[in-house]
Amino acid sequence: MRRILRRAAVILMRELFQHCLGYRINWRKLFLIGAFMTISGIVFQMFTLPYPLNEWFLSQPETVLSYHSLNGTMQLGEVLNEARIEPIQLFPSTPVSPLNSSTKLTQSVPTEPKRVEAPPRKKPVSRRRKKNSKQSEKPTPPPPPPLRRFVPPRLQRYIWSLPPKEALLYAKKEIEHAPLVTDDPDLYAPLFRNVSLFKRSYEMMELVLKVYIYHDGRRPIFHTPHLRGIYASEGWFMKLMEENRQFVTRDPEKAHLFYLPYSARQLEMALYVPESHNLKPLSLYLRDYVNYIAGKYPFWNRTHGSDHFLVACHDWGPYTVNEHKELSRNTIKALCNADLSEGTFVAGKDISLPETTIRTPRRPLRYVGGGNRVSLRSTLAFFAGNMHGRVRPALLKHWGDKDKDMKIYGPLPIRVSRKMSYVQHMKSSKYCICPMGYEVNSPRIVEAIYYECVPVIIADNFVLPFSEVLDWSAFSVVLSEKDIPKLKEILMAIPLRRYRTMQINVKMVQKHFLWNPRPISYDLFHMILHSIWFSRLNWIQFHNHSW
């Protein structure tokens, strides 16, 4: 291209010189030749310069500000070969942002001195025009997602080189020395008992945890998730766990936890004889499966099942493990029926699983979210449901059709549902009553959170989901069964400021109770897995290494 333009320029200059020599100058031709040369020069620059001309001349230089570490450094601890280890930062932190601004890399543009001008006089604007201008203003765009956590390759190689036992011990020490978290864009501190401890534990889970899934077991009881209805939590966890690539390993020697992928709902549908009231065939089937796993693989017998876990949301989940002593006593059980009075659920070891209702498996978030603001929530408390168990009849006896502020029903009457649906009642009520039914858990707890209604939980001996990390008093009211006669008095005694704080916290905690088709950080899948991980760490003995 350069050679062609050079030859054209030489030829044009030669022709120009010949025409000018001894002749009158033809200014028209000279102007055309000059214009052609100017256009040729512009085209030449466009093909040779690294940036377009408008960016080259008009844009101002951009400077990317670097960000500094806030979390400090982290000691790697005891290394097997006793080599000298320098402090390594686990995760790079983000810059301090003023107020509630989002975390991002900002761009600074050099400023130029401006002339001081008198402010222009504003023309008077009518109230109607002001109102229209406010409505026409575009909403501010959402903040960008937080920066992805980066783990130094040296630290990754060190963690991967550790045996599973040593890796868990290392993670537990790091959690006990968690750095202080003051302002994290992903976590709302008032929701947690100790947000610093939870964040470091979650980071260690993402860095360390590997889960081995047994491929044995016949379908549909095993490896067939049940994704619809009130027992869908066990199915969604199974589905997302078996599809996961971050935590699942194919090498059982590298695993820290072993997953028994059975479905209590599928077990009931396959083996239970209707109206027989006999659950023993279900527990015998699961006992034979565990014995088969223990005979085929060495992993169960190494720890007597203490590093194995199962997830069961059906009401009968706790009763399906009774025929196998090690499965009942040692295995980590994630159960919706987290009832301490039954003797099967072990506090501190077992996990309380949230009970969620999924209506559309292809779009699990379709009917989730929304609710009126506080000023439009005219009803003090609302409940409607079937009258089973011991708590709901007592609730209806004391408050059914006795107070206009307390809308307490059995099944929602047709005359009422024609005016306002069940969901609309939850969205327009300040408090949603969540009493136990046959068992302690209820999908109403999560439904109330979805519709931004403060849940009032009435169930004795119930271990609340994620209670090892979440502070339920920040976004719910937990009452004992004997408090039912004083229910309105207790709710009316809560100050308005306190209620508004709880209602805001209900909105903020929603993200931790959502089933996403593709899991994201801190959602329900990760919260369940973290509870299992946290339980396993709590049962580790430091000194004698008994597992």
Quote the DSSP letter at residue 107: E
pTM over 0.75: no
Please give the Cα distance from 196 to 199 (Å, whole number): 5
Which single residue is written with the structure tokens 């935590």? 247
Residue 465 exposed, middle or buried by CB count within 10 Å (0-12, 13-18, 19+): buried
Q: For residue 192, which phi and psi values (nearest 5 degrees)?
A: -110, 150
Name the residue type at position 349.
K
Q: What residue spans of 441-523 are helical by DSSP H?
A: 444-450, 487-492, 496-509
**Hey, what are 439's tokens?**
């068992």
Quote the DSSP letter at residue 103: P
Pairing of strands 429-435, 379-383: parallel
Pairing of strands 406-408, 379-383: parallel
Please give the Cα distance from 407 to 384 (Å, whole number): 8
pLDDT value for 13: 77
- List average pLDDT for each run of 10 residues in the chain, which is 547 residues long: 76 72 68 83 62 41 35 36 35 36 35 44 50 44 48 80 93 94 93 97 96 96 96 97 96 97 96 93 97 97 96 95 95 97 92 95 86 91 95 96 93 94 95 96 95 97 97 98 96 97 96 96 98 93 45
Please give the Cα distance from 449 to 446 (Å, whole number): 5
Question: Reduced to 3 states, what is the DSSP secondary structure of residue 18?
Answer: helix
pLDDT value for 415: 93
pLDDT value for 456: 98
Please give the Cα distance from 236 to 166 (Å, whole number): 31
**Hey, what are 93's tokens?**
């932190």
**C-beta pairs of 478-487 under 8 Å, 24+ apart in sequence:** 481/390, 481/391, 481/394, 483/458, 484/391, 484/394, 484/395, 484/398, 484/399, 484/458, 485/398, 487/381, 487/395, 487/398, 487/399, 487/406, 487/433, 487/456
pLDDT value for 5: 76
**Cross-strand pairs, 454:** 431
Question: Reduced to 3 states, what is the DSSP secondary structure of residue 267?
Answer: helix
Q: For residue 429, which phi and psi values (nearest 5 degrees)?
A: -110, 145
